[in-house]
Amino acid sequence: SQQGEEDPQALSIQEGENATMNCSYKTSINNLQWYRQNSGRGLVHLILIRSNEREKHSGRLRVTLDTSKKSSSLLITASRAADTASYFCATVSIYNQGGKLIFGQGTELSVKP
Amino acid sequence: DAGVIQSPRHEVTEMGQEVTLRCKPISGHDYLFWYRQTMMRGLELLIYFNNNVPIDDSGMPEDRFSAKMPNASFSTLKIQPSEPRDSAVYFCASSLRTSGKYEQYFGPGTRLTVT
């Protein structure tokens, strides 16, 4: 069963604007990851944040993690039409060293040129 | 590296038939995962292997599903007999945990339609 909840389910913005997606989860985690899925394709790993980290950056991506609230957010700055995709958060439990991922339902992002 | 390779990319079959999905993980990766994606249930982990050994198959829906990993470069997911509710996109992913990394690399998926 899915552990994560993502918000919003769908987001439509104009090119150049920032996009923020939120993720909540239920159990204690080792790390949280964000993946992107373009239509009809496999998932692509974007960024990983460990449970002892609060913020991480990678290019135009900024991820925050609040373990007290069991939530994370993904910010994409200066969005481009090519960012149009579904974005998923996925957690790795502290009880699972194999790296089993539990995915959220995803946010569908549409960036209009 | 070619990435994770899955075959076939599309499979259409009739209810009751046996279906075999194939996966070649990234060379050197020690973990292999099988996922299923549907609109209703999202992404679900079915089973994963470590060094070719099944570790957790709690996500396998029922006995009709089976998975094997005979060697480090090949895995199969078999459904026998198939049912219309098995229609989904099936993804294979691999990772290199011994390096301390948790990132998973996904294949392009197999879109299965059972009529």
For tokens 């059972």, name the residue: B114
Nearest neighbour of A99 by CB, restricted to B31, B42, B43: B31
Q: Which of A48, A51, A80 is nearest to A63 (CA)?
A: A48
In angstroms, the CA A105 to CA A112 distance is 23
Average pLDDT over residues B7-26: 97
In angstroms, the CA B11 to CA A101 distance is 26
pLDDT value of residue A1: 39
pLDDT value of residue A2: 42
Which class for B2: exposed (0-12), middle (13-18), buried (19 or more C-beta within 10 A)?
Answer: exposed
Asked if B97 and A103 come within 8 Å (Cβ–Cβ), the reply is no
B42 shares contact with chain A (CB less than 8 Å): yes
In angstroms, the CA A20 to CA A56 distance is 14
Q: How far is A33 from chain B (nearest CA, A)?
A: 8
**What is the CA B19 to chain-centroid distance, rounded?**
12
pLDDT value of residue B97: 80
pLDDT value of residue B1: 64
3-state secondary structure chain A: CCCCEEECCEEEEECCCCEEEEEECCCCEEEEEEEEECCCCCEEEEEEEECCCCEEEECCEEEEEECCCCEEEEEECCCCHHHCEEEEEEEEECCCCCCCEEECCCEEEEEEC
Asked if B42 and A98 come within 8 Å (Cβ–Cβ), the reply is no
Answer whether residue B45 shows pLDDT above 80.
yes
A-B interface: how many C-beta pairs under 8 angstroms?
Answer: 58
Q: Is B90:B8 a contact under the CB 8 Å cutoff?
A: no
pLDDT value of residue A96: 78
CB burial of B58-94 (b: ≥16 within 10 Å; e: otherwise) equals ebbeeeebebebeebbebebebeebeeebbbbbbbbb
Residue A61 half-sphere exposure toward CB, CA atoms < 13 A: 18
Q: How far is A68 from chain B (nearest CA, A)?
A: 22
- For the ranges A68-82, A96-110, B1-15, B30-44, the lowest mean pLDDT is seen at A96-110
Mean pLDDT estimate for chain B: 94
Average pLDDT over residues B10-31: 97
pLDDT band (50, 70, 90) for residue B101: confident
Q: Measured between beta carbons, which residues in chain A are less than 8 angstroms from residue B40? A: none
Asked if A103 and B42 come within 8 Å (Cβ–Cβ), the reply is yes
pLDDT value of residue B70: 97
Q: Is A90:A32 a contact under the CB 8 Å cutoff?
A: yes
Helix (H, G, I), strand (E, B) or coil at B69: strand
Question: Which residue positions in chain A have pLDDT lower than 70?
Answer: 1-4, 97
Q: How far is A63 from chain B (nearest CA, A)?
A: 16
B110 shares contact with chain A (CB less than 8 Å): no
Asked if A2 and B93 come within 8 Å (Cβ–Cβ), the reply is no
Pairing of strands B53-56, B42-50: antiparallel
Q: Measured between beta carbons, which residues in chain A are less than 8 angstroms from residue B24? A: none
Q: How far is B48 from chain A (nearest CA, A)?
A: 8
